[in-house]
Amino acid sequence: MASTIILKRRITSIKSTRQITKAMQLVSASKMRRAQDYAFRSRAYRDLAYHLLQRLNAMKEVERQPLFAKRPVNARLYIVVTSNSGLAGAYNANVLKLLAQSLRQDRDDKVVSRLIMIGSKGAQFARRLSGVELLAVYTDVKDQPTANDVRPILTTLIAQYEQEDVDEVQLIYTMFKSNILQEVQKFQLLPATLDAAAGKPADEAVISNFEPDVETVIEQVTTRLVEAQLWQAVLESLASEHSMRMISMKNATDNANDLIDDYTLEYNTARQSAITQELAEITGGAEAMNG
């Protein structure tokens, strides 16, 4: 049994750690509520963007647009959303696991893999990979990002696709479903064809007039619709990150409470044993003196 001094130090140390995890839990809960509201408010916009892309896919003119062009996949670009900090449970591990599986499949299929990482944790992982080109790293995404925050990423991926440096763009992020359920998803951004991915047939195209011309309108609209999906993925990932960090810190706080209870019981037992030993020694000494 450890001495009472060692046990007391352990209890003090764990109490200090509990204060930190409790504070982080409260901060994450506050950030999670704001990020959740932010993500929920823009989901309708993302869904509308998805619906409009379905409508555009029904138009013959999109066949001549570079963002809709289908090519044999010889090079694939992944946009991967991770966090800048840890202590968020399996948030980053789940995303990077799906990325690793995709990279292995590309290697087996002789497909060149390129990466754009959002978040320093993903960047640390990507820098250790061999045979994979890391194009860019973005670590300055705010808790409530705007379209301007994701526009540099959008510009890079569109340039890569239009210049035919890559033949497909995949987005890997964490979808926020509830406080206790977050799911990693992989979604095709480019080419912007949704025939199989949409899950339902596209609506028939509506006869419309386009100004200045149909090609210019489709190009500009498609860019904005892809941006909406990228932006929403970042929002969903932020809400998932804060939720998983809140749960992780709550579990750490609960574990600290359990350890404090266990060590307190052990401390009291050791203290009682020491008191009993001292009383026995005093009693034995008194009897020896009387004898």
Q: What is the pLDDT of residues 38-78, one digit of tens each?
A: 888 888 878 887 777 777 776 766 667 788 888 899 999 99
Candidate from 33-42, 90-99, 190-199 with smallest mean pLDDT: 190-199
Q: Which residue is it, tokens 């026995």?
A: 280
| Spatial CA neighbour of 269 closest among 279, 261, 280, 281 | 261
Neighbour-count burial of 211, counting CB atoms closer than 10 A to its CB (0-12 exposed, 13-18 middle, 19+ buried): exposed
Q: Is the model's pLDDT at 268 over the cut of 60?
A: yes
Distance CA 184, CA 174 (A): 4
The pLDDT score that the predictor gives to residue 17 is: 92
Count, residues in the chain:
291
Candidate from 11-25, 76-90, 271-285 with smallest mean pLDDT: 271-285
Q: What pTM was computed for the model?
A: 0.81
Q: Is the model's pLDDT at 7 over the cut of 70?
A: yes
The pLDDT score that the predictor gives to residue 249 is: 92
pLDDT tens, residue by residue, 96-144: 999 999 999 999 999 999 999 999 999 999 999 888 999 999 988 877 7
Average pLDDT value for the chain: 84
Q: What share of the chain is helix, strand, coil (3-state, %, to 5)?
A: 60, 15, 25
The domains found in the chain, sorted by start residue, are 23-247 (3.40.1380.10)
